[in-house]
Structure 1
Amino acid sequence: MSIKKKLGLGIASAALGMSLVGGGTFAYFNDVEETKSTFAAGTLDLGVDPTTIIDVTNIKPGDWMNRTFELQNNGSLDISEVILSTDYTVTDVEGDNTDDFGKHIRVNFLENEDKSGLFTPNDIIYSTTLHDLKGTAPDAVQKKIWSFFGERSGLAAGTSDNMYVQFEFVDNDADQNEFQGDSLELKWTFDAKQTEGERR
């Protein structure tokens, strides 16, 4: 090996050794901070009072029954809508029905006092039969009456709405004898939906 190569190799080895020694003793300022994050999901908690919709016997064509339901938002999140689903079963004691008993029970949804801001919830805002209601999904906390008063649609956390309903066994001025002794079991399901996502 020539002297130039030996010298070059020696200089390179010395430089490498110095860099290793220097790297071990090099000092610099440093500051470390830690951050923590929490993602806590809110809750949707809808309460309905009373839990029994209606329990009445010995009704006849022309009878009507008023009922009040309190829809309560017991959760921490606002509710945008409460979808009402209807189902029912009819017990035909004589087995002679040619028509659906649900077509003869009319449901009159009365003014929601919380939404309209009025003190006498007696105006019918929506009327349908149980039979027709079974295929729809109305919003039970929607503001259906235009007014400066009352709340907006939806149900804010920690608030409640009173829903006024009237059930009516419609007298159609025709023979309804086939429904004598029959019964109808109604099931309402209230499905609360969250509001849209937002920047937080």
Structure 2
Amino acid sequence: MGIKQKLGLGVASAALGLSLVGGGTYAYFNDTETSTNTFAAGTLDLSVDPEVIINVDNIKPGDWMNRTFKLNNDGSLDISRVLLTTDYSVTDAGGDNIDDMGKHIRVNFLQNIDKSGIVQPNDIIYSTTLHDLKGTAPDAVQKKIWSFFGENSGLKTGTSDNFYVQFEFVDNQDDQNEFQGDSLSLEWTFEAKQTDGERR
């Protein structure tokens, strides 16, 4: 047998040995388990009751209007903040307005009753005109006072906060005839924010 034949036989034997060793690894026992997992997101669901907080006509300078409403957390997640933004539009019936009617409608207070103390109210807004509220975003569920009484800031799932608000058509002791017959449409938007992420 020549050297080439011996080398060829040796390579063939080695290949056969490796294939047997490799094939042998599949002869061991084996077991497989499958883990099925779920990530389900919670929901933020804020509602205002009633949806129309104020609807009044025939007002005159000096009139004030008290209203109550509540914010409900109907979702499955706690709410950390509820940002209140203000927008409004004025219908000028006489076409003679020089001033903005929003400067003459004042929110004397917006109190979160659930966050208030026994004697100290928790004012979210205090003595500010609708004109000045534009561009701001106070937190309607923030506890702004120091008190042992009342709830902490935020709005837990399944709970609600009660609010007391007073609007006033300010009598500035000046000529306000330009506003006769006019109307102001107020839009308050309440935007709920989630709480911080946490280890689960």
Question: Is the TM value for this pair above 0.5?
Answer: yes
Amino acid across the alignment from 1:92: D
Is the CA contact (8 Å cut-off) linking 1:113 and 1:119 kept in structure 2? Answer: no
- What are the equivalent positions in structure 2 for 1:157-172 lying under 5 Å apart? 157-172=157-172
Moved more, 40-49 or 171-180: 171-180
**What displacement does 1:99 show?**
1.1
The equivalent of 1:30 in structure 2 is 30
The equivalent of 2:69 in structure 1 is 69
Aligned length: 199
The equivalent of 2:14 in structure 1 is 15
Q: RMSD over aligned Cα, in angstroms?
A: 2.3
Moved more, 188-197 or 124-133: 124-133
Identity %: 71
Which whole-Å CA distance do the structure 1 matches of 2:22 and 2:184 have between them?
87
Is the CA contact (8 Å cut-off) linking 2:81 and 2:142 kept in structure 1? Answer: yes
3-state secondary structure, aligned to 1:168: strand
**What displacement does 1:119 show?**
7.8
Moved more, 147-156 or 4-13: 4-13
In structure 1, runs of 5+ residues without a counterpart are none
The equivalent of 2:153 in structure 1 is 153
The equivalent of 2:102 in structure 1 is 102
Which whole-Å CA distance do the structure 1 matches of 2:124 and 2:89 have between them?
26
Amino acid across the alignment from 1:184: L
Is the CA contact (8 Å cut-off) linking 1:113 and 1:120 kept in structure 2? Answer: no
Which whole-Å CA distance do the structure 2 matches of 1:149 and 1:70 have between them?
19
- Post-superposition CA distance 1:144-189 (Å, at most 9, x none): 1111222221111111111211101111122222212221111111
Which whole-Å CA distance do the structure 1 matches of 2:119 and 2:73 have between them?
22
**What displacement does 1:140 show?**
1.2
Moved more, 59-68 or 109-118: 109-118
Which whole-Å CA distance do the structure 2 matches of 1:13 and 1:178 have between them?
107
The equivalent of 1:192 in structure 2 is 192
Which whole-Å CA distance do the structure 1 matches of 2:186 and 2:46 have between them?
20
Structure 1 runs of 4+ with >4 Å offset: 119-125
Is the CA contact (8 Å cut-off) linking 1:112 and 1:164 kept in structure 2? Answer: yes
Which whole-Å CA distance do the structure 1 matches of 2:101 and 2:47 have between them?
29
The equivalent of 1:129 in structure 2 is 129
Which whole-Å CA distance do the structure 1 matches of 2:111 and 2:87 have between them?
23
**What displacement does 1:14 show?**
2.1
**What displacement does 1:20 show?**
2.3
In structure 2, runs of 5+ residues without a counterpart are none
- What are the equivalent positions in structure 2 for 1:79-90 lying under 5 Å apart? 79-90=79-90
Moved more, 121-130 or 181-190: 121-130
Change (3 A) 1:23 1:14: same
Is the CA contact (8 Å cut-off) linking 1:82 and 1:139 kept in structure 2? Answer: yes
Moved more, 176-185 or 18-27: 18-27
3-state secondary structure, aligned to 1:35: coil
Change (3 A) 1:148 1:122: closer
**What displacement does 1:111 show?**
2.9
- What's the TM-score, normalizing by structure 1? 0.88
